[in-house]
Amino acid sequence: MAHQLSLFKVIALTSSLLFAGCALTLGAVLTALLKDCGVSSVCSACSIVVGGTTMLALSLVIGIDLLHPGAFMSMILAELIWISIVWLVGTAFTLDGQAAVNMRTMRPIMFGMLLRKPEFLNSPLGIAGATTMFRACLAQGSRSVASSSNTSLFHTSAILHAKPRLTPAKIRQLKSEKWERIQASKPSPILGTRSGEEWKWEQCDLAKVLVKEEELAGPPQTTATERPIGVVHEPKHYGFGVTQTEAEELFGKLPVISSNVTIHESTSAASLLMDAKAGEARELKKANLFAKVLDLRNANADGIAYENRRRIIEAFSTPENPFDPGRQEVQAAILTYRIRNLWNHLTKFRRDVGNRRGLRQLVHHRAKILRYLKRTDRERYDILLERLALEPEAIEGELVV
């Protein structure tokens, strides 16, 4: 007949199991240290077998009914505590290489002291030195286990995975870097292009019709043109006010008329032919000299600006009205030309503070014209932005110059 379960027997069973588990764990650890084998493997192998055998033996000795729910739960609790102790001790003794060397160095001292040998008791290390070395090995082993794993051994709380808080200076630095990246991606409200995309300006229609200062700074460029009086070396770019129509009259018709003035004074046919040839040679020389005078290289800044404005009006006007300076496309193109000229001036002369306000006014005036064109005719607006090498972000929204 099974014995009746009592509180004393339950407490005795649990305490006995805990005591036996601790003793067996210590024995397994010491055995692993002496035999140079893994602590975790030894403890894991003997934990379930030894724990179950111990529970059965103690329950039979005390005389507890194993089928009783209270006794069964008590044995399960003791078994779980036993396995937890084995796991914790095995984890703590999982040492790295240096800690294992220190542990092997410490074994003779520890077990010599346990066996009460005089040579170990009288050693310079003593009990305090051996204890300190043992604690250092345990601490180094626990640190190596914690550092060799990316996850927590006991829990995964937010404290272990928390990142260091940002200081106010670091926050301001991050905001400043973010603002700089945003500003770098935006197009310039003055030039209208993004950083690194200056090639768009070189390929647009406005840049192709303008006369550049680099072209005028080099050696003279002339074109040999056949005229009634001979070959005239005309300049590549005429001065302001001289178009192809005026060039035809100045170098084609006028020299012929001037050379025929002295022919009427001749009395004979021979003198008439000689006077005609002399007049043509004289007018040809005058025409070549006059062509050098009309070269745009001799003009000042106002003369070059006048020629560029004339070209802009012709390029951006419609075929129905070839000269339409009041057209929105013409006005925006002229303002873009003036803005770029003023910007180049300010980049060379940074102390010229007075022209900065004028540059700001020109930028806002151009944006006003383009916004009006966008409201009235979106197709013309998109075409004009491409011809002027302007990005929509440089016109729309707030402009900070």
Fold classification of 186-219+299-401 (topology level): Helix Hairpins (1.10.287)
Report the alpha-carbon distance of residue 305 to residue 122 in Å, rounded: 105
Tokens 């808080």 found at = 165
Give strand pairing partners of 224.
233
Give residues with Cβ within 8 angstroms of 335, minimum separation 6: 362, 365, 366, 369
DSSP 8-state assignment for residue 263: G
Write down the pLDDT at residue 245.
Answer: 85
Q: Which of these, 393, 371, 398, 345, lies nearest to 184 by C-alpha position?
A: 393
> Does pLDDT of 1 surpass 60?
no
Amino acid 99 reads: A
Report the alpha-carbon distance of residue 384 to residue 205 in Å, rounded: 10
Helix (H, G, I), strand (E, B) or coil at 61: helix
pTM score of the predicted model: 0.53
Q: Quick one: tokens of 261?
A: 């003035």
Report the alpha-carbon distance of residue 347 to residue 297 in Å, rounded: 24
Band (pLDDT 50/70/90 cuts) for residue 344 is very high
Terminal C-alpha separation, the chain: 102
**Helix/strand/coil percent split, the chain, to 5:** 70, 5, 30
> Does pLDDT of 86 surpass 70?
no
> Does pLDDT of 5 surpass 80?
no
Domain ranges of the chain: 7-147, 186-219+299-401, 221-294
In b/e form, how buried is each residue of 34-48, taking b as 16+ CB within 10 angstroms? eeeeebbebbeebbe
Q: Which of these, 343, 378, 32, lies nearest to 190 by C-alpha position?
A: 343
pLDDT in tens, 31-62: 555 555 554 555 555 555 566 666 666 666 55
DSSP 8-state assignment for residue 160: T
Band (pLDDT 50/70/90 cuts) for residue 260 is confident
Q: What percent of the chain stands above pLDDT 70? A: 58
> Does pLDDT of 295 surpass 60?
yes
Write out the DSSP string of 234-246. EESSBPTT--HHH
Helix (H, G, I), strand (E, B) or coil at 232: strand
pLDDT in tens, 105-129: 544 544 444 444 455 445 544 455 5
Backbone dihedral angles phi then psi of residue 196, each to the nearest 5 degrees: 90, 0
Q: Quick one: tokens of 373?
A: 């064109």
Write down the pLDDT at residue 11.
Answer: 64
> Does pLDDT of 70 surpass 50?
yes
Report the alpha-carbon distance of residue 328 to residue 367 in Å, rounded: 11
Give residues with Cβ within 8 angstroms of 268, minimum separation 6: none
